[in-house]
A and B are shown apart, each in its own frame.
Chain A
Amino acid sequence: MTFERDPVRIRRVLGDKVQFIQGDMAVAYGGLLAGCSFFGGYPITPASEVAEGMARLLPRVKGTFIQMEDEIASLAATIGAAWGGVKSMTATSGPGFSLMMENYGYAIMTETPCVIANVQRTGPSTGQPTLGAQGDMMQVRWGSHGDMEAIALCPSTVQECMDMTIECFNLAEKYRHPVCLMTDGEIGHLREKVVIPDEDEMDLFERVLATIDKDKFIPFSESQTRDSKVPDFPTFGSGYHTYVTGLTHNDKGFPATDKQPDHERLILRLTSKISDDREKLTSVEEIELDDAEVAFVSFGASARPCESAVWDARKKGMKVGMLRLKTVWPFPRDVVTKLSKKVKKIIVVEMNLGQIYHVVKEYAVKDCEIVLAPKVGGDMHLPHELMEYLEVSN
């Protein structure tokens, strides 16, 4: 499979530079801009518009859209396309994300670069299809069995849906890892202004392909050509002999399932290639934190009412700020630890019954009070509901 990314054609297909579109469509736009040329998916509310967008757009840039029979096959096809040499993605919501867990682990184990957009809705099971939630934040971290790292980004605006999808592709290629865009039904269906970046406003990280002599190539070790724990990529059909398996494998890629050191060496490389770069690859936004005594910590849709609450509190003269996690996984530990040393109280705001709250608690210093502001049922927190958490503390 070959694909030549054509920046002029992509922009012609996307149309006007400034548009008013839904978050889901912005995910599709981001995919196109990043050079994604394969989408394997299965429609599901509230993620269907990502598939619709890709079905409409991808053929026009000479890409491929396939509607698979289910979400297991969708991610399998996405993984296969990546091994065929292209940038690939899928999109889904809770029930589909659950089905994808098996192949999510397979992508991690086989070091397959690809992007999964999860437009979260409430669960468990089929839950509330049309309504947003943030209940899969631990599933993306721990939903597949075994030891692993995860990379997950959370957009709070429609513009970020596009920008972060591009960033997801960059991280997927850089770390050879499935990267998840953890958006939600609220942002997915919201319409806002987006500005499509010009080519010179974008940084794309392209896959590092194997170039070493074919008989010296080792497919599953640290890179043989640069200082990186991420091996160079041997595209299927390029002549590099590669055996790809979800079984624990030696650095040639062949199953090596009965010796502890083989597994330990592999898993430590797979996890440390990401955790070594944790603070470098995580991104946060700090709002009014300079003199803050109380801080919200939030991400994705729920950061929106948080920001409103910060403005309302500031108008009342309260020293309140917020930390918005743009990257949730790997967790920006150092930033949270530093924040907890500075403020008296942190309120973790999320559309679930408490997931990232526990992680904040883990990395905050003991004398900072950590409070959970949960909400489930498909509605975002209202700004005044969040104000009540501030007022309790004063």
Chain B
Amino acid sequence: MKKEIRICGFGGQGVILAGFIIGKAACVFSDYNSVQSQSYGPEARGGAARSEVIISDEKIGYPRPIGIDIMAAMAQEAFDAYRGDLREGAIIIIDPDLVPRNDIGTPIYRVQVQKIAEELGNKIVTNITMVGALIGITKILDTEAVKKAVIDSVPKKFKELNVNAFEQGLEAGTNARPE
């Protein structure tokens, strides 16, 4: 098994943390190898940002993705900029409220992760909701391993909010169908 995953959005949304959690779930709380890399502009906030994770049951040589198997986008600019290297049959997940122009002629998963986060009381957990949705859709990792990585990676006082975000994202993802 080898999956190359890209999570993208705008700077400040927490796409790097989202990728970090998936990478950590894979190599610390599961038995895979994983690497996480990132690229972003000089701005601390705003601008397209992306976080990329490779998960493999074999040693990972070249540490950057060559063809994306799974892409999750949380901003239009990032969706437009970062989908040039998708593999055929790649799983695409977007939040239609954040990526309104998403009709690209292939089936994609649409999950309103920001809306879920807002209903939980804070849209800051949109990224964690997206991690849940991604795992629900792709089932690439054991959900308990990812939950452990979420708990391990967020401030203690926001543990409950983040776990809720993850679980609701997971449920939304599990129920989502590509259209």
Contacts and interface: CB of A to CB of B under 8 A. Distances in A.
B169 to A, nearest CB: 21
Given A20-B20, A20-B23, A311 B61 contact: yes
B143 interface: no
Contacts of A272: none
B37 interface: yes
Nearest to B53: A191
A367 B36 CA distance: 42
A20, A306, A309 pick with most chain B CB within 10 angstroms: A20
Interface string A1-27: 000000000000000101110000000
B34, B37, B63 pick with most chain A CB within 10 angstroms: B63
Interface string B55-73: 0000101111010000000
A192 B23 CA distance: 8
A307 interface: yes
A193 B61 contact: no
A382 interface: yes
Contacts of A383: 61-62, 66
A304 interface: yes
Contacts of B59: 307
B35 A190 contact: yes
A18 B59 CA distance: 17
A213 to B, nearest CB: 54
A193 B34 contact: yes
Contacts of A382: 62, 66
A192 B26 CA distance: 10
Nearest to B39: A130
Query: Chain B contact residues: over half helix, strand or loop, or mixed?
Result: mixed
A380 B65 CA distance: 12
B33 A193 contact: yes
B27 A189 contact: no
Contacts of A311: 61
B24 interface: yes
A342 to B, nearest CB: 23
A304 B65 CA distance: 13
A193 B63 CA distance: 13
A191 B33 CA distance: 11
Contact of B62 (A20, A189, A191, A304): A304
Interface in A272-319: 304-309, 311
A380 B62 contact: yes
Given A191-B36, A193-B34, A20 B66 contact: no
Given A189-B37, A191-B20, A193-B34, A304 B63 contact: yes
Nearest to A131: B39
A20 B36 CA distance: 9
Contacts of B63: 186, 190, 192, 304, 380
A311 B62 CA distance: 11
B140 interface: no
B38 interface: yes
A213 B33 CA distance: 55
Given A20-B27, A20-B28, A191-B20, A308 B61 contact: yes
A304 B37 CA distance: 14
A304 B59 CA distance: 10
Nearest to B149: A20
Contacts of A309: 61
A190 B33 CA distance: 13
A71 to B, nearest CB: 21
- 4 interchain residue pairs of minimum CB distance: A308-B61, A20-B24, A307-B61, A191-B36
Given A304-B62, A380-B63, 19 more contacts: A16-B28, A20-B20, A20-B27, A189-B37, A190-B35, A190-B37, A191-B23, A192-B27, A192-B36, A193-B28, A304-B61, A305-B61, A307-B59, A307-B61, A309-B61, A311-B61, A382-B62, A383-B61, A383-B62
Interface of B: 20, 23-24, 27-28, 33-39, 42, 59, 61-64, 66
16 contacts: A18-B28, A19-B28, A20-B20, A20-B27, A191-B35, A191-B36, A192-B27, A192-B36, A193-B28, A193-B34, A304-B61, A307-B59, A307-B62, A309-B61, A311-B61, A380-B63
